[in-house]
Amino acid sequence: MLAAAPDARAADKPLIVVELFTSQGCNSCPPADELLGELVKRDDVLGFSFHVDYWDYIGWHDTFAMPESGQRQRSYVSRVGGRYVYTPQLVIGGKEQVVGHDKRAVEAAIEATADRPMVNVSTHKGPGKGQWVVDLAPADLETPATIWLVAFDNRHDVDIQRGENRGKTLAYHNVVRKMERVGTWDGTSALSLPVDMQAVWAEGRDGCAVIVQADGFGPILGAVRIGGQ
**Domains of the chain, first to last:** 8-225 (3.40.30.10)
- How far, in Å, are 65, 156, 159, 169, 203 from residue 165 at the CA level? 16, 16, 9, 9, 29
CA distance 201 to 4: 14
194 has pLDDT over 50: yes
* pLDDT at res. 9: 41
Give the sheet arrangement for strand 96-99, strand by strand. Answer: 96-99, 89-92, 16-22, 45-51, 169-185, 145-159, 207-214, 220-225
- The mean per-residue pLDDT over the stretch 78-82 comes to 79
What is the reported pLDDT for 98?
A: 94
Distance in angstroms (rounded) separating the CA atoms of residues 40 and 181? 23
Tell me what pLDDT residue 40 has. Answer: 96
CA 123-126-127 angle, 5° bins: 165
CA dist 129 to 18, 206, 229, Å? 30, 16, 8
Which residue(s) pair with 69 in the sheet? none
Q: Give the per-residue pLDDT at 13.
A: 62
Query: How do 45-51 and 16-22 pair as beta strands?
Result: parallel
Among 163, 153, 158, which residue's Cα sits nearest to residue 201?
153
User: Of 30-44, 75-89, 161-175, 197-211, which range is least confident?
Assistant: 75-89
Task: Lowest mean pLDDT of 11-15, 19-23, 94-98, 178-182, name the range.
Answer: 11-15
pLDDT at residue 228 in the model: 59
Instruction: Look at 8-12, 123-127, 142-146 and tell me which has the smallest mean pLDDT.
Output: 8-12
Q: Any residues with CB less than 8 A from the CB of 174 and at least 6 apart, and which?
A: 36, 40, 47, 48, 49, 152, 153, 154, 155, 207
Mean pLDDT across the stretch 143-165? 96
Better pLDDT: 2 or 20 = 20
Q: What is the average pLDDT value for the chain, to the nearest integer?
A: 91
Amino acid identity at 133: V
Stated as kind and residue range, the H or E segment containing 36 is helix 30-39
pLDDT of residue 4: 35
DSSP string, 121-172: EEEEE-SSTTEEEEEE-----SS-EEEEEEEEEEEEEEE--SSTTTT-EEEE
